[in-house]
Amino acid sequence: MIVGGCIIYLLLTLYFTYLVHQLPRKPVHDTPDWGKVLDTRIPSKDGGSLEVWRVEPEGSSRGIVVFAHGWSRNRDRMVGRARIFGKMGFTTVIHSARDHGNSSPHRFMNAPHFAEDIEAVLNWVNEPVLLYGHSAGAAAAVIVANRNPDKIKLLFLEGCYAKTREALLSLYRGYNRLFGIFFAPMVVLWIEIFYKNSLDSISPANLAPNIDLPVLIIHGERNQNFPLNHAWRLRDSFPAGRAELFVARNSDHSSSNLKPGYPRVIQAFVGRHLPQS
């Protein structure tokens, strides 16, 4: 009886591990409404393709900002954030990761695969950029900045976590407390097995010490997925003085950009590190 129960538990958690890599998918609809919009597709690592918007501002461009959305979303999710940079005179490039939006299918997406998609965009852009990631896209942006420091001028991390294992457990508890208590620890263990115990190697807080560039961390005070301690820990993991933290009051995981102070913080950070000539 006990052995049978253990087998059922292991098989059930293995099935849950498959599901959390595939679900949910919650695309939104919000298209760019400024500048000159190029809607195109570019090659991805596995022979597929990514849907991409490149939006040129009116007049000369101050540079390029690449945006990476989070898990379950699509490029449309980042349009509101990109609009602010567009008004500041930047070219904005927004893509959907594989298996999201209308980009090519790819099973078992994770932060390293999100990072591969960002790198595909960087290769297409072919010049140093400002890189902005949200949630899983932020964790992927840290991986990219660690691997490609010469391609990144400034790094923006919104709703990012510090340690991957802790983040997954927090996320699953937030979805469903019963699932988080009884099944999530084994699901995370399966993930560690499948990724060959590499979760620590892709944890943003472990990669941050090697990223020596200006970083703005943006975090909702009431982030239900990754509580605020993730942001403090991540900030303190970067080289001294390189990372700043903006805490959006009364904001959740995805609404920091809707606060009145958000555009001012973005503009001030960019102004300090990339002053206009």
Per-residue model confidence (pLDDT) at position 266: 97
Q: What is the pLDDT of residue 42?
A: 98
Strand order in the sheet with 64-68: 36-43, 49-56, 91-95, 64-68, 129-134, 152-158, 215-220, 243-248
Over residues 80-98, the mean pLDDT reads 97
Say yes or no to pLDDT of 211 above 80: yes
pTM, two decimals, is 0.95
Element (H, E) at 170: helix 164-175
At 165-193, the pLDDT tens digits run: 999 999 898 888 888 888 899 999 989 88
Q: Residue 119: how many CA atoms within 13 Å on its side-chain side?
A: 18
Beta bridge partners of 36: 56
Q: Which pLDDT band holds residue 277 (cuts at 50, 70, 90)? A: low
The CATH number of residue 129's host domain is 3.40.50.1820
Q: pLDDT of 241-256, one tens digit each? A: 999 999 999 999 999 9
Q: Do residues 203 and 241 make contact, with C-beta atoms less than 8 angstroms apart? A: no
With the C-alpha atoms ordered 99, 164, 212, 224, is the resulting torsion angle positive or negative? Answer: positive
Task: Give residue 164's domain range.
Answer: 2-273
Of the listed ranges 70-79, 86-95, 189-198, 217-226, the one predicted with least confidence: 189-198
At residue 74, the pLDDT reads 97
- Among 78-92, 157-171, 185-199, 237-251, which stretch is predicted with the lowest mean pLDDT? 185-199
Total domain count, the chain: 1
pLDDT at 164 over 80: yes
Residue 235 has pLDDT above 70, yes or no: yes
Percent of the chain with pLDDT over 70: 99
pLDDT at 199: 85
Give me the chain's average pLDDT, please: 94
pLDDT attached to residue 255: 94
